[in-house]
Every structure is written in C-alpha cells, then in structure tokens.
C-alpha cells in the first residue's frame, strides 16, 4: 500500500481533532485491537500485573496467534470502555487506538477517508487543525507495527 512516505494522497496534511467525550471509535461492537508487545507490557505494568497474567485474563488470540484485546461478552465492545464512553486506560492505551483515525485502511484513498468521517466527527471538524504528512506517516507506522502483533509470551 504505502511503500514509500511519498505515496500518500494525504502528504499535504488533513484536518483533524480528537473530540473530548466523543469515544465513537471505541464504541464499535466487534472491533479488533491488535497489541504490540510494548502495548501489552505497558498496560500490564499499569495494572501492576505480570505480562503473562494480563494476557491470559484480558486478551485473546487471533487464528494466527496474535494477541488482541478482549471484548465484553455482553456487547462485543472494548473491555476498557467505560459506561460514560471514556477509556479507562487512556494514559497507557494501545498504540492502534492512539493512531486512529490514521489507519492504513482509512487512508488508502481519499474516498476511504471520506467514509471514515462517518465514524469520526473529528475529521474536518470546525475546530480541527492540520495534521501534517510526517505525523500521519508516524501514525501509519504505529498502526502497522501493532497489527503485526506478537505471539510469544
Ligand atoms: S471518533 Fe474521532 S473524534 Fe471521536 S474519539 Fe475517536 S478519534 Fe476522537
């Protein structure tokens, strides 16, 4: 997809602001959050738990063995999404969450980006600021690395 930093239609920047108390990107049943080993370690430390214990209690694995965050059985939403739609681990949240909406699938074309607006009201919001191409590229890399995931414990 973006094999080179200069491939992106978004190189000149896009308008975005993350709106406090929005939480719509987290409020998706069936969402999958891949974890890098750094993500998992950081969150386990936050809960003062051993990595293996945290992975066993709060994660599951995909068919190819990558760790993903567990969902609530009752509604398929993230286990760390609170009743008031905030993130209870905001300060240590997974890098894929931090990278949203700058995921490869959302930036693959300007059309895909337009579609992402349906989920994310921060895109082209009146208070949005320009997020430059360098920053977007870093977010894409965060997302890519997280999606590669890890399998060992
Ligand atoms: S949907 Fe967009 S504006 Fe809302 S919390 Fe997620 S990133 Fe922020």
Whole-number pLDDT of residue 136: 96
Q: Which tens digit of pLDDT belongs to each residue from 20-48?
A: 888 899 998 888 999 999 999 999 999 99
Q: How many domains does the chain have?
A: 1
Q: Is residue 129 part of a domain?
A: yes
CB 147 within 8 A of CB 37: no
Residue range 55-73: mean pLDDT, rounded: 95
C-alpha 45 – ligand 1 centre gap (Å): 26
Q: 103 pLDDT exceeds 60? A: yes
Whole-number pLDDT of residue 35: 96
In ligand 1, which atom is closest to the CA atom of 125?
3
Question: What is the distance between the alpha carbons of residues 35 and 151, in angstroms, rounded to a whole number?
Answer: 10
Q: Is residue 105 part of a domain?
A: yes
Q: Work out the percent of the chain whose per-residue pLDDT is above 70.
A: 95
Whole-number pLDDT of residue 153: 52
Burial 1-14 (b: 16+ CB within 10 A, else e): ebeeeeebebeeeb
Q: Is residue 133 part of a domain?
A: yes
Q: 78 pLDDT exceeds 70? A: yes
Q: Is residue 135 part of a domain?
A: yes
Q: Is residue 67 part of a domain?
A: yes
Q: Is residue 97 part of a domain?
A: yes
Is the pTM for the entire model greater than 0.75? yes
Residue 28 domain boundaries: 17-148
* Residue 109: half-sphere exposure toward Cβ, Cα within 13 Å: 3
Q: 5 pLDDT exceeds 80? A: no
C-alpha 153 – ligand 1 centre gap (Å): 32
Q: Is residue 7 part of a domain?
A: no
Q: Is residue 78 part of a domain?
A: yes
Whole-number pLDDT of residue 28: 84
C-alpha 53 – ligand 1 centre gap (Å): 30
Site residues for ligand 1, CB cut-off 6 Å:
18-19, 22-25, 100-101, 119-122
């Amino acid at each position: 997809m973006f094999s080179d930093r200069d491939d992106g239609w978004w190189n000149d920047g896009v308008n975005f602001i993350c709106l406090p108390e929005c939480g719509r990107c987290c409020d998706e049943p069936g969402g999958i959050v891949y974890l890098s080993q750094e993500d998992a370690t950081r969150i386990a430390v936050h809960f003062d738990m051993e990595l293996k214990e945290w992975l066993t209690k709060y994660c599951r694995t995909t068919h190819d063995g990558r760790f993903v965050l567990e969902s609530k059985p009752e509604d398929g939403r993230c286990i760390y999404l609170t009743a008031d739609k905030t993130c209870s681990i905001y300060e240590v949240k997974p890098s894929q969450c931090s990278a949203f909406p700058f995921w490869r699938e959302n930036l693959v074309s300007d059309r895909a980006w337009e579609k992402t607006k349906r989920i994310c009201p921060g895109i082209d919001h009146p208070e949005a600021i320009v997020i430059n191409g360098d920053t977007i590229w870093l977010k894409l890399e965060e997302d890519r690395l997280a999606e590669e995931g890890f399998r060992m414990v």
